Amino acid sequence: MNIRIMFIMMLLAGLTACATSPTGRSQLIFMPDDQIDAMGLQAFDNLKSEKQISRQTGNNQFVRCVADAITAEVGGNWEVVVFEDETLNAFALPGNKIGVHTGLLNLVDNQDQLASVIGHEVGHVLAKHSNERMSQKLGTQMGMSLVSAVAAPQTAMGQTAVSLLGVGAQYGVIMPFSRLHESEADTIGIELMSKAGFDPRESVTLWYKMAQASQGAQPPEFLSTHPSHATRIEDLQALMPKSLDIMQQAHAVGKRPRCTK
């Protein structure tokens, strides 16, 4: 394909694929939602076939109880699976899929701490972060295909190509947005858990526990796809007054989850 035509197509995609996240942030999204959902469904099916699924009744009831309260705030039918895996992890995928590792269940003390994680992961789905990252990846690949233009920065096309690449595809494009997605999911997640009647203060407690569990193994924030624990805690604390008000409103209308670990 002619490089100029490719560049024009990329610009047109940017002009016609603007979206707005739940926090009001502008996004570049141009992949069909049903295609992203299909990819999420396939990925979840692959995980279920490859990883051991927990059959422990208590764990499943606990996770299902918390997840049901969170997803009731967003609607839809969500599949929830507990995986026998000692890593501290949980995730949500497009297509309404939630996975929780038993390692995370061993770390959390109560329903509110688990709700902060599940709310965060559902936040990724609501904000269409997978679609945004996929669209960004496609855009990056197209930018990388402009290598001949980058080699001639004195031309108009070359100057545009260098500008698109910024300081590099990895640190200038992908990494900062990944940290942004994590922070945005925190904002959405704490609001979701509060709307469901969970105590948002436990989200801070959870990240103190995560920081302790990591034992200094976390890489520097600049090179990480996640905010540092200290940054995350600070941001959550800033959201606490509003979140507590939301929780009190939820309690006033009878939303008081009772999920027992």
Active site residues: 121
Q: Which residue has the tokens 């997803």?
A: 71
Return the percent helix, strand and coil in the chain, to nearest 5: 65, 10, 30
**Residue 92 belongs to what H/E stretch?**
strand 90-93
**Which is it for strands 26-28 and 90-93: parallel, antiparallel or unpaired?**
unpaired
- Pair 101, 89: CB distance under 8 Å: yes
First and final CA of the chain: distance in angstroms? 57
Please give the Cα distance from 99 to 118 (Å, whole number): 9
Residue 154: helix, strand or coil by DSSP? coil
Residue 32: helix, strand or coil by DSSP? coil
